[in-house]
Structure 1
């Protein structure tokens, strides 16, 4: 049991978090994920999958393969012991298309329930689609588009608009099912895919919107693309391709004479490679049918959607990014209260109309403030480098890659102003974002450096040292009890901040 403290402004609450586990018996893999607790910003503490291929022959034989069943049941036995070791009392167990469609599916469920000592819920296609939709709600804010969750046995499609489910359907287009149905002849698959998609006229509503790609096969495609272009940020959540880029990626599989001809395909797990051509073909036919603006890849799927459905409404409404940052600051920073003070302190900087920020930019600034001190335990020479790595690759939800890079750069500049140990990595990340984003990261990094020189990372100081804009000057007011905090290093850091915002610096000891 984890002692968990959350502070947001003046509100404080302490709760006991119980770990929660999900066992997902899919058509291709059987997976156990244990989360620290059922909260808005999920933190996995254990994640293991076994590629069993339960759905490999269901389409042609109607049955689960005996070898696949044996592997799956062995995985369930192992997962029960792991859950016991991790003191997980609340485990949700779900099974999807393969078990749902197989004539011996109930026999498998009976044996699985005996091994686990608890019930297994076989999801209907409708519920599987709804959980996929909730997974997108868990991982994104202002979601608007069509989400597709491609498994081994089925494809779930949902039309989402601002956390509202408009349409949903499940189609027999999973990678293993297509291999089985076509006899592993990919040239037979387009007619099957197009015929199934034609049954959903509402897919045309995806035109010009986002397509959210969920599922291991599509994530493998995204990883392949990252490796091909040497993308510096190895994070799948929120990875984005234009429709044209995604089509070009998919067409590699259709045009290749053999799988090994595709650049970097060796970086994909061997057990996943066989379904890649079929997964690429499904994505290609979807894009041509829907005409989306972009493809965004999600690591949040039905497991996270299941947890989302268990949350009370007030928890569902929390911002996933700020929730994560607040939780992380509670665990890693010297003072989460101080982190919230930084949000208010930097509000004064952007009160200047010349520095006007959007609502999303303000939200990202707050996230940067909350994360600004999480690297304080590192050696001073490496705090910038370690902060970049930690934040750029953290398990963040509710943020795209541009925002993620902004956060990493902001905290990097909070520790380092010029060449440092993390400069090479930060330079690669900077190449992926606009000049405006880079400038904002430098401003916020400089503000955080100046603020920490005043507060020493402790709460209760900077709320008493307000910033104001006066006649072309950025003014820092320090009350007499803290007048001795004024000095050369503070003035140097404050001058950097003032210059970045186009003002002259002035530090005033105020009564």
Structure 2
């Protein structure tokens, strides 16, 4: 992969075994912002196992999709476009012939990704979106399954590529699930890393498995409709997979949010997941919205960009779009820090990171009616395309912004998710939210003032110190919000004019 960095719009066409997809990002960055995404389910690998060749109808659909995607390059203004072909194209007898036709359409060389490179890029993509991933990455395409061990922010082995994509298995098994099961069992027996990583998490990539996660969300009436880092307990995932395996096409087609063209691959995809969970005795299944394409993008970044925190970068991007003064994101972490000093509330590095993200996002709901700012802010956080944040942490950020606008109280939007956070996490969200509420009242939501004020906190009192030039800005509303914060940390409120 080319390691130069793209400053303009960055596009990737993924010529997969089941789908051909174009994704366009605003630029190649640590927290990539998606500006366009289109997928065509072509089924290139549908006949690969039985004929050794690409599916004729799939070829037609794929070349037509590619024609449109290349035309969109100038329409959208894509500065850098990478086209990557994976398992079906590399394994098919007529793969070179297909590539020749495809390259004639696009006018430049297409990257044919090897099995080992596909495994590496998929794992790199997952790590770029879930930096603390620890277990096995499984990327299920139409014609292959890539498995790679990850941990400590790194790829731990070369991984393996198995010919276990749903399209390929369906072609061999001719609709027999028992035959499909035998094929999968035989393939997994030779995979040592599944034993090596027994009991760890399974991080899954691929459209079939994302559809299974949507079904699980719907069953639970789960209100955070973000698939990235959605966690399914291993037993739940296996039970769901077994149900899907037994359903016929008509029953599957009636399930909301399931693409009709995914219906035929769902049972085999569910079977593969079930076998994978049982073979590695997975603790739970974590959905990753990041995979091969994000791995390709991450490879384009320089080392400095790669080292950035995806959550903080994503928060900054959202604040730059929605906040009145994004500079508050630089002022508020230091201003709120005394509340979380070791002798007051205290915080771990992970908690400090979430506090920084909350401070950056603190004013993203300002532009709606005051009565709806809390709800709007929470919704933005719960649905934002952030990476590097699990669902409980996302919920804590949302709850913090609720308290920033509403003070005390219980947000109805959270509903049954209240139990995702511990009492301590709920308390931390309340304290930080009340501090942010005070901050925006004190400075009238303008930058530059807060760094000139500070908290002094001892065992009995929290004192807001304000320089003489700002003394007249102290008033009833500031005192009211300081008092609310003081009650939350079991102190008495006080103000002092000083430097």
Per the alignment, residue 458 of structure 1 pairs with 446
Which position in structure 2 is the counterpart of 1:179?
A: 170
Q: Distance in 2 between matches of 1:429 and 1:491?
A: 33
* Aligned counterpart for 1:52 among listed residues 39, 42, 55: 42
Among 401, 408, 429, the residue aligned to 1:441: 429
Tell me the alpha carbon deviations over residues 294-347 of structure 1, each in whole angstroms, 9 at most, x when there is no partner.
Answer: 211000010000000111111111111011112222232222222121011111
Partner residue in 1 for 2:160? 169
Alignment partner of 1:468 out of 438, 453, 456: 456
Partner of 1:253: 244
Spell out the pairing of 1:339-378 with structure 2 (5 A cutoff): 339-378=329-368
Q: Are residues 268 and 16 of structure 1, via their aligned partners in 2, closer, same or farther at CA, if it must alter by over 3 Å? A: closer
> Which residue of the partner structure matches residue 380 of structure 2?
390
Q: Which of 173, 177, 191 is 2:182 aligned to?
A: 191
**Equivalent residue number for residue 222 of structure 2:** 231
Aligned pairs for 1:91-170 (under 5 A) are 91-167=81-157, 168-170=159-161
- Tell me the alpha carbon deviations over residues 144-186 of structure 1, each in whole angstroms, 9 at most, x when there is no partner: 2110000101000000122322221100011111111101211
Q: Secondary structure of 2:156's partner?
A: strand
Q: CA deviation at 1:243?
A: 1.4
Report whether the alignment pairs 1:38 with 2:28: yes
Query: C-alpha distance in 1, partners of 2:63/2:18?
Result: 14
Report how many aligned residue pairs link the two structures.
Answer: 494
Match of 1:87 among 72, 77, 87: 77
CA shift for structure 1 position 208:
2.5
TM-score between both structures, scaled by the size of structure 1: 0.93
Change (3 A) 1:484 1:264: farther
Q: Is the 8 A contact 1:259 1:265 kept in 2?
A: no
Identify the residue that residue 477 of structure 2 maps to in structure 1.
Answer: 489
Quote the Cα distance in structure 1 between the aligned partners of 2:442 and 2:193. Answer: 57
Match 1:498 to one of 467, 470, 486: 486
Query: What are the superposed Cα offsets for residues 386-433 of structure 1, whole Å, 9 maximum, x if unpaired?
Result: 11111110000000000111111111211123569xx42134443432
- Return the alpha-carbon distance in structure 1 between the equivalents of residues 138 and 60 of structure 2: 30
What SS does the corresponding residue of 1:208 show, helix, strand or coil?
Answer: coil
Structure 1, unaligned runs of 5 or more: 1-14
SS in structure 1 at match of 2:222: coil
Of 245, 268, 272, which residue of structure 2 is paired with 1:282? 272
Equivalent position of 2:261 in the other structure: 271
Q: Distance in 1 between matches of 2:147 and 2:27?
A: 28
SS in structure 2 opposite 1:348?
A: helix
Partner of 2:201: 210
Q: CA deviation at 1:203?
A: 1.3
Whole-angstrom CA distance in 1 between matches of 2:136 and 2:249: 29
Give 2:467's aligned residue. 479
| CA separation of 1:171 and 1:450: change in aligned 2, threshold 3 A | same
Q: Tell me how far apart the structure 2 counterparts of residues 116 and 373 of structure 1 sit (CA, whole Å).
A: 44
The 8 Å contact of residues 63 and 102 in structure 1, kept in 2 or not, is answered as yes
Structure 1 segments, 4+ long, off by >4 Å, are 259-264
Q: Any idea what SS the aligned residue of 1:238 has?
A: coil
Q: Report the Cα distance in structure 1 between the residues aligned to 2:6 and 2:290, rounded to whole angstroms.
A: 25
**Pairwise CA distance, 1:443:** 1.2
Q: Tell me the alpha carbon deviations over residues 472-491 of structure 1, each in whole angstroms, 9 at most, x when there is no partner.
A: 11111111100111111111
Specify whether residues 173 and 334 from structure 1 end up closer, same or farther in structure 2 by C-alpha distance, changes over 3 A only.
same
Per the TM alignment, residue 143 of structure 1 is displaced from its structure 2 partner at its CA by 2.1
2:343 and 2:324 map into 1 onto residues whose CA distance is: 33
* Cα separation, 1, equivalents of 2:258 and 2:498: 62
Equivalence for 1:6 = none
Q: Structure 1 residues 189 and 111, CA, compared in 2 at 3 Å: closer, same or farther?
A: same
Structure 2 CA distance for aligned equivalents of residues 343 and 471 of structure 1 = 22
Matches of 1:241 and 1:353, distance apart in 2: 37
Q: TM-score, normalised by structure 2?
A: 0.96
- Mean alpha-carbon deviation: is it higher for 35-44 or for 335-344? 335-344
Q: Distance in 1 between matches of 2:365 and 2:416?
A: 21
**Aligned partners of 1:228 and 1:263 also within 8 Å:** no
Q: Hey, what's the Cα distance between the residues in 1 that align with 2:489 and 2:239?
A: 42
- Residues 41-88 of structure 1 deviation map (CA, whole Å, 9 limit, x = unaligned): 011000000000111111101111221111111111111111111111
